[in-house]
Amino acid sequence: MSDVSNACKKLLEDENVDISSEVDFNVNGKIHTLSFERIIDSYMHASDESKLVFLSALQKAINAKGMGVEKFFEGMGHLLLMTHLSDKLEA
């Protein structure tokens, strides 16, 4: 596991956010569920620069308090899911 992945997971742990929390996405009537951990792990396959951007954005979401972390993972999961689905359409 990368240092950035560990840093992301540590940030969540420090804020008492359960990494196994899940976000549901409804795409054309089909529910897709992604855990916070799966979202983090998926983004850790990106470039080193992109990983650091992810970490920085997560830190800002945590600093925003309230629904910041949940909204962050909803947005990142949505991007991940849409990218995956568009890759399938091109195949």
Structure tokens given for 68: 């910041």
pLDDT: which is higher, 67 or 17: 17
d(CA 61, CA 69): 5
pTM of the model: 0.86
- Among 13-17, 53-57, 66-70, which stretch is predicted with the lowest mean pLDDT? 66-70
In contact, 35 and 22? CB cutoff 8 Å: yes
- The answer, yes or no, to whether residue 89 has pLDDT greater than 60, is no
Every domain of the chain and the residues it spans:
18-90
Please indicate whether residue 64 or residue 90 has the higher confidence score (pLDDT): 64
Query: 47: pLDDT confidence band, cut at 50, 70 and 90?
Result: very high
Question: Pick from 5, 44, 40: which is nearest to 21 by CA?
Answer: 40
The DSSP secondary-structure symbol of 5 reads: H
